[in-house]
Amino acid sequence: MDKQKSVECWDRFEVELDGPDNGNPFIDIKLRATFSIGNRAVTADGFYDGNGKYKIRFMPDTEGEWTFTTYSNNSSLNGITGSFTSTTPGENNHGPVQVSDQTHFQYADGTPFYPFGTTAYVWNHQGEELENQTLESLKNAPFNKIRMCVFPKHYDYNLHEPVEFAFAGSKEEGFDYTLFNLSFFHKLEKQIDDLCNMGIETDLIIFHPYDRWGFSDMGKEADDRYLTYLVARLASFRNIWWSFANEFDLMKSKKMDDWDRFFKLVQEKDPAQHLRSIHNWHHPTIHYRNNNHWYDHNKPWVTHASIQHPDMFFIKEWRETFRKPIINDECRYEGDINHGWGNITGEKMVELFWDGVCSGGYVTHGETYMHPEGIIWWSHGGELHGESPERIAFLRNIVEEGPAKRLTPIDFSWDVSAGIVDDEYILAYFGQSRPSFKRLPLPKGNQYKVELIDTWEMSITPLEGLYTDESRINLPGKPYMALRITKVLS
């Protein structure tokens, strides 16, 4: 047994054991361990990692002395005991992200987390040079969450073969869903760790419909085996989020019962209880509650709503309906490709972020500019070319400088997106409207200082004087203005 004596709280403890390598260890050998501290016990599944090596990984969430015992249907792997110490987490280790205050997020240590995400679906399938370029781009970008797939993607601008697959085999010869490709998973794990070291959460998309290899329709047994293996390998990575599908309602081979089963399986198997979501394709004009394209986010195993919709207007209603955090993970993309969802302006992308945040939700960025070599950020990563990222960074700074308690949407008027923290702090955004002045219904009995924010020019200008609910606030009559309104303590 490979012995590890200590690990930071919320870091990865790993037990490596020698065992049989004959037959098919992926399906023949069952392995798990129970990890205990005080009167508490947590179980984690083990997995086969090739060359007769078996691993069990665990992310301790409590400092102190942990013990473990293994259980297996193979005698050489059964009844092994050991211990390790979980130490104080380092400066940049805040633990996994979890739900906070019903509709927001925080790290496990209580530090607020504000998701400012991006999408690069299959950046991890592009080969070393482009993958390294993507990581370099992310170092200088404002994004702290990335949506990415396990499986490769077949769609417009995505027609080449990936470097590796999750299973042994090939498109021509077929894939063996009982044999996992360990080289692929070792690389995926390094990529997730690289993201973690940059403070980026990995919103990992488990299934999707854009497929020519057969992974979207492997059958129930293979699906469940894949999910179980994925959780055993990755649940100890603190920056993992489970996204069960991108555009699940396009996957005709799977029914609602299948998605329920997947959620419950991962909920049962994941010792860390990472965040769990699922993502729609159809965004109905009819009320979404009566449309079967939407998964029921009220189900208890769903931690937050991951939504595709071009309009932030409904965020307040979604918050009230689902009573969970709302992330509009796909609201169109800044770019110039032929598809309508992928050719909005940078101004519109920034507007969507401000509307979403001021409405009490969160928004994910995407970019789809044509490229002479077909390298488009939304799918392949590479370099960012758009105008929105630096302005999203500006918004992120404003949000993170604000109160730790998060925004709740309020009704100022139909043409204003606004969120409030108690009666002490308000962000109000006017979008494409360009009023020359406003009288806003500020909470009565208080006085406020007001700062004018030009969200495109990225400037903040204090306005003279103090303001009440009776006050006229003069504005420059140009679009993309916002106000930061702060209560003056008496």
Give per-residue pLDDT as tens, 75-130: 999 999 999 999 999 999 999 999 999 999 999 999 999 999 999 999 999 999 99
Rounded distance between C-alpha atoms, residue 361 and residue 326, angstroms: 5
Average pLDDT estimate for 322-345? 97
Average pLDDT estimate for 38-45? 97
Kindly state whether residues 47 and 178 are assigned to the same domain: no
Domain termination site, one of 401, 424, 441:
401
pLDDT at 404 (0 to 100): 86
Kindly state whether residues 341 and 366 are assigned to the same domain: yes
CATH of the domain at 388: 3.20.20.80
Domain termination site, one of 60, 87, 114:
87
Kindly state whether residues 154 and 50 are assigned to the same domain: no
Q: Give the model confidence (pLDDT) of 53-64 as tens digits.
A: 999 999 999 999
Per DSSP (E only), the strands in 399-443 are 408-410, 417-421, 425-429, 437-438
Kindly state whether residues 416 and 382 are assigned to the same domain: no
Predicted TM-score (pTM) of the model is 0.97
CATH of the domain at 18: 2.60.40.10
Rounded distance between C-alpha atoms, residue 315 and residue 354, angstroms: 12
Rounded distance between C-alpha atoms, residue 403 and residue 52, angstroms: 52
Q: Give the model confidence (pLDDT) of 148-161 as tens digits.
A: 999 999 999 999 99
Rounded distance between C-alpha atoms, residue 101 and residue 464, angstroms: 35
Domain termination site, one of 369, 401, 433:
401
pLDDT at 286 (0 to 100): 44
Rounded distance between C-alpha atoms, residue 22 and residue 477, angstroms: 74
The residue segments making up the domain with residue 29 are: 6-87
The residue among 385, 381, 370 whose CA lies nearest residue 131 is 381
Kindly state whether residues 114 and 135 are assigned to the same domain: yes
- Given a cut of 60, whether residue 285 has pLDDT beyond it is no
Q: Number of folded domains in the chain?
A: 3
Whether residue 1 lies inside any domain: the answer is no
- Given a cut of 70, whether residue 287 has pLDDT beyond it is no
Rounded distance between C-alpha atoms, residue 445 and residue 137, angstroms: 48
